[in-house]
């Protein structure tokens, strides 16, 4: 096992190299945009001014290209040095701290699939149980040490895109986190951190394996398991339940309740907008750099377009195709109580503005798993509306907490 100091150095160096490498890439993108705009401007000027404009361009282009080249080369060289020698006087690795984990959460959400593919030190623990920011080994000894007061009733929390397990404590100064409210009912909360840039189906399969170990090696027999997912976390939970049943795992037999908070079960409109906007922007030289940046968004973000849960939804398909997104309607696990929470920025859910904006990221029909062409089978009576609030507020809200406790009880 890698020691704490080595893990710290590996993560600091990887973050340093990544940050500077991305800065160099941004410089190259700005350079392309600059040249595309200037080329068009000089083209117009040549038609109006003739040779005089050409002489100005002959000076402008080499000077501009040289400056960008120097900046890019210097930044790239610095990135390589940082990747070899950078370090910080931290007591622990950045991924084990609240601030460091928050930074990594954003990085994972944006390009976590790239980091995983090249086996970056920033993606060594793509999915794990966390206690106080540190990963827990999912065996009998590791779980017994991490949960000395374990009960037979578990609530597993799954955060959303670009989040970590620390997100569940949002606003804790004014509202007690869900885990404290559930603890009063004899329920042990387990928090999972995962790389949100990876495919939802990949995270779902890994979560199914993790939950099987969790239930098998839990310090006491598991009587009741509840999955609680915020946003993307609700999709990962559904994917895990599907794969767990297919593989004959033990844990689905203990799963009694599943709760999704603001989950885009049938797709997120912002991802759909980004998908089409990237094609439009990439088609023109002046906006090509921005289009390429949008197209670089992670596989996890792309899966939100239609709420894709399975490998078959994306294998062999062009990710930039403008054809309709594919998402198999995975049935809800039988014998499980499925609940969902949806929010609107407006107090009145019937308000036209509330219907258009939803909670700012997810619309009502998607949170309830139903639109004009798809119906995943959620019982409308098992839904709870939280008005006058936004998407992130669902991570810690007093009224939602009361509803969670009632559903689990």
Same domain assignment for residues 88 and 151 = no
Residue 56 has a pLDDT of 86
The pLDDT score that the predictor gives to residue 51 is: 85
Same domain, 125 and 82: no
Answer yes or no: is 22 within a domain: yes
Q: What pLDDT shows up at residue 78?
A: 93
Judge whether 122 and 16 are in contact, CB under 8 Å: no
How many independent structural domains does the chain possess? 2
Q: Kindly state whether residues 156 and 223 are assigned to the same domain.
A: yes
- Flag whether 250 is in a domain: yes
Domain boundary among 61, 92, 123: 92
If asked whether residues 14 and 86 sit together in one domain, one would say yes
Residue 251 lies in a domain: yes
Residues 67 and 121 occupy one common structural domain: no
- Residue 99: inside a domain, yes or no? no
**What CATH number is attached to the domain comprising 335?**
3.40.50.1820
Q: What is the pLDDT of residue 91?
A: 86
Residue 243 shares a structural domain with residue 144: yes
Sign of CA dihedral 298, 299, 300, 302: positive
Q: How far is 94 from 9, CA to CA, in rounded Å?
A: 9
Report the DSSP beta bridge partners of residue 260. 229, 340
> If you count them, how many residues does the chain have?
409
The answer to whether residue 104 sits within a structural domain is no
Range of the domain at 11: 4-92
The single residue listed with the structure tokens 């409308």 is 380
Pair (64, 191) in one structural domain: no
Same domain? 156 vs 30: no
What's residue 2's pLDDT?
58
Kindly state whether residues 196 and 332 are assigned to the same domain.
yes
The answer on 73 and 207 residing in a single domain is no
Task: Give the residue from 203, 205, 272, 277 showing the smallest Cα distance to 233.
Answer: 203
Q: Does residue 223 sit within a domain?
A: yes
Please indicate, yes or no, whether residues 177 and 65 belong to a single structural domain of this protein.
no
3-state SS track over 202-217: HHHHHHHHHHHHHHHH
> SS3 string of the chain?
CCCHHHHHHHHHHHHHHHHHHHHHHHHHHHHHHHHHHHHHHHHHHHHHHCHHHHHHHHHHHHHHHHHHHHHHHHHHHHHHHHHHHCCCCCCCCHHHCHHHHHHHHHHHHHHHHHHHHCCCHHHCCCEEEEECCEEECCCHHHHHHHCCCCCCEEEEEECCCCCCHHHHHCCCCCCCCHHHHHHCCCCEEEEEEECCCCCHHHHHHHHHHHHHHHHHHCCCCCCEEEEEEECHHHHHHHHHHHHHHHCCCCHHHCEEEEEEECCCCCCCHHHHHHHHHHHHHHCCCCCHHHHHHHHCCCHHHHHCCCCCCCHHHCCCCCCCCCCCCCCCCCCCCCCCEEEEEEEECCCCCCCHHHHHHCCCCCCHHHHCCECCCCECCCCHHHEEEEECCCCHHHHCCHHHHHHHHHHHC
- Domain end residue (candidates: 92, 107, 141): 92
| Within a domain: 109 | no
Q: Of the residues 92, 123, 148, which one is the last residue of a structural domain?
A: 92
Output the tens digit of pLDDT for each of the chain's 409 residues.
Answer: 557 889 999 999 999 999 999 999 999 999 999 999 998 898 898 888 888 888 888 888 899 999 989 999 999 999 999 999 899 888 889 999 999 999 999 999 999 999 999 999 999 899 999 999 999 999 999 999 999 999 999 999 999 999 999 999 998 988 899 999 999 999 999 999 999 999 999 999 999 999 999 999 999 999 999 999 999 999 999 999 999 999 999 999 999 999 999 999 999 999 999 999 999 999 999 999 999 999 999 999 999 999 999 999 999 999 999 888 889 999 999 999 999 999 999 999 889 998 899 999 999 999 999 999 999 999 999 999 999 999 999 999 999 999 999 999 8
**Are residues 58 and 186 both part of a single domain?**
no
Residue 160, domain member (yes or no): yes
């Amino acid at each position: 096992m890698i020691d704490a100091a080595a893990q710290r150095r590996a993560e600091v160096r990887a973050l340093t190299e990544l940050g500077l490498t991305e800065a160099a890439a941004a410089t190259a993108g700005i350079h392309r945009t600059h040249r595309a705009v200037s080329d068009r401007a000089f083209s117009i000027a040549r038609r109006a001014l003739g040779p005089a404009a050409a002489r100005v361009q002959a000076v402008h282009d080499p000077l501009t290209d040289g400056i960008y080249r120097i900046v890019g080369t210097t930044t790239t060289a610095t990135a390589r040095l940082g990747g070899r020698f950078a370090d910080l006087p931290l007591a622990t690795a950045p991924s084990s701290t609240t601030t460091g984990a928050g930074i990594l959460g954003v990085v994972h959400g944006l390009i976590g699939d790239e980091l995983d593919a090249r086996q970056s030190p920033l993606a060594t623990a793509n999915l794990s149980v966390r206690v106080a920011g540190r990963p827990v080994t999912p065996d009998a000894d590791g779980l017994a040490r991490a949960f000395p007061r374990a009960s037979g009733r578990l609530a597993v929390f799954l955060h959303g895109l670009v989040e970590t397990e620390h997100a569940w404590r949002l606003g804790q100064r004014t509202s007690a986190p869900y885990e404290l409210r559930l603890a009063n009912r004899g329920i042990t909360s387990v928090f999972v951190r995962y790389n949100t840039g990876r495919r939802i189906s990949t995270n779902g399969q890994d979560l199914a394996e993790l939950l099987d170990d969790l239930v098998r090696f839990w310090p006491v027999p598991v009587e009741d398991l509840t999955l609680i997912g915020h946003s993307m976390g609700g999709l990962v939970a559904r994917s895990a339940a599907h794969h767990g049943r297919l593989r004959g795992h033990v844990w689905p037999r203990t799963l009694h309740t599943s709760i999704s908070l603001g989950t885009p079960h049938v797709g997120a409109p912002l991802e759909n907008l980004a998908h089409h906007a990237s094609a439009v922007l990439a088609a023109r030289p002046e906006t090509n750099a921005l289009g390429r940046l949008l197209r670089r968004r992670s596989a996890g973000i792309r899966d939100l377009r239609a709420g894709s849960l399975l490998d078959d939804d994306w294998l062999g398909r062009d990710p930039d195709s403008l054809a309709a997104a594919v998402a198999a309607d995975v049935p809800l696990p039988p014998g499980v109580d499925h609940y969902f929470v949806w929010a609107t920025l407006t107090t009145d859910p019937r308000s036209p503005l509330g219907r258009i904006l939803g909670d700012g990221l997810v619309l009502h029909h998607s949170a309830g798993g139903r639109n004009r062409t798809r119906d995943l089978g959620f019982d409308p009576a098992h839904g709870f509306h939280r008005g006058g609030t936004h998407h992130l507020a669902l991570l810690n809200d007093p009224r939602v907490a009361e509803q969670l406790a009632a559903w689990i009880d």
